[in-house]
Structure 1
């Protein structure tokens, strides 16, 4: 009986989501992922540009992280073991997606710097900010993935 109670307490619900590790990282992930989404959406996109992947990753991870936050807050995770596994797998996928998107975004920013003239300087600054926030989001998802793996292995 004590083991079942301990398993249920490993995955928080309600407002405890905002105060437990690694679940406290949901909010910064939403903030930085949303900033990447907004900044990339506000830039000038040329035709042969792989920033569609960056937009997909930022929107996908934003929506999925929001859904995870809502599920955990509402207590929709009754089977702790399966939810702990799913939480780890989602954050692993998010890390791989965000890392690939961050590398593409940094590469496109370098190309954009040398391919444009002075009027596009404002877009270059937006690209730089998007790259920084993208790598911060990658780091947050990576930390969350590691902490989720530790929690998953404790079951």
Structure 2
């Protein structure tokens, strides 16, 4: 990747240019990075707790057990998506700091 570019090949906005496009608006003060890392941690915790509850329901009524299996699958998918987005947010944040150092 060339210097001065971020994902997608475009440079990161600076100053008031952050407010001109919706995706860039989410990166104000790099809060987005901290938010997604924290959300990934919370989703992981909730997913682990839901898995433990589902294991405890194994001998219960089949309907409740199958509903909880679905909840576990979707919570794991949501957790993975938040983790992937957190990683990409960290990469973008790192690229942003690297670009500021070279400017």
Cα distance in 2, alignment partners of residues 13 and 107 from structure 1: 42
Cα distance in 2, alignment partners of residues 144 and 92 from structure 1: 9
Is 1:7 aligned with 2:8? no
Q: 1:113 aligns with which of 26, 36, 58?
A: 58
Q: After TM superposition, which residue ranges in structure 1, 4 or more long, deviate above 4 angstroms?
A: none
Are the aligned partners of 1:81 and 1:152 in contact in 2 as well (CA < 8 Å)?
no
Are the aligned partners of 1:91 and 1:145 in contact in 2 as well (CA < 8 Å)?
yes
Aligned to 1:128: 69
Structure 2 unpaired stretches of 5+: 5-9, 97-103
* TM-score, normalising length: structure 1: 0.48
Structure 1 unpaired stretches of 5+: 15-71
Aligned to 2:95: 154
Instruction: Report the Cα offset of residue 81 of structure 1.
Output: 5.5
Please tell me the root mean square deviation across aligned C-alpha atoms, in Å. Answer: 2.6
